[in-house]
Amino acid sequence: MHYFLDTEFNGFGGALISLGLVREDGPSLYLIYKIPERTDPFVRSTVQPNLLCVPPGVVARNVSQREGAHAIEAFLHGDADALIIADWPADLSLFCQALMLEPELMVPITRLRFELHRIASYPTDLSGAVEHNASWDAMALRQRLMHEPAHSTT
């Protein structure tokens, strides 16, 4: 199964703020992590105001690191052929960090594959899409890659 990923984070090298993961067949996961006390000006003005501007049917879940890791594990449903697709390297790095419960312990996921497609997901024809919201951005990436033959993931 293909899963399309986007994250929002506190500036270059900063902490994970939100994570959106959308399956190729539609179901999605949207997690919001603790907002750092000091946030990057771009995050403060553009990301934070849109954290709860989610697509219809998507539930924003506030989670701790541990809760988020277990939520991702449950969303992947033990998919032994999971392919995580992102458009930016930090998304993949932060996703991997989000799987960790504590030093040297992660949720019991034994196999994942990753792809990086350096493409622009916007503009998108998704009605109501809010750029810089991880849930919408993951959906826009899915839309771009699944519906444009030049970018097919299969």
pLDDT tens-digit profile of 27-67? 999 999 999 999 999 999 999 999 999 999 999 999 999 99
Amino acid letter for position 119: I
**pLDDT value, residue 46:** 96
- Paired residues of 30 in beta bridges: 20, 60
**pLDDT value, residue 153:** 54
**pTM for the predicted model, two decimal places:** 0.93
Q: Percent of the chain beyond pLDDT 90?
A: 92
**Domain boundary assignment for the chain:** 2-151
Helix extents (H) in the chain: 41-42, 65-76, 89-98, 134-147
**pLDDT value, residue 148:** 72
24: enclosing H helix or E strand: none
Long-range contacts of range 123-130, CB-CB < 8 Å, 24 or more positions apart? 126/55, 128/55, 128/56, 129/55, 130/50, 130/53
pLDDT tens-digit profile of 80-122? 899 999 999 999 999 999 999 999 999 999 899 999 999 999 9
Q: Which residue has the higher pLDDT, 148 or 138?
A: 138
**pLDDT value, residue 151:** 53
Q: Does 79 have pLDDT greater than 90? A: yes
Give the CATH architecture of domain 2-151: 2-Layer Sandwich (3.30)
CA distance 139 to 49: 19
**If DSSP codes are grouped into helix, strand and coil, which group holds residue 97?**
helix
Amino acid letter for position 83: L
Q: What are phi and psi of 59, to 5 degrees?
A: -105, 125
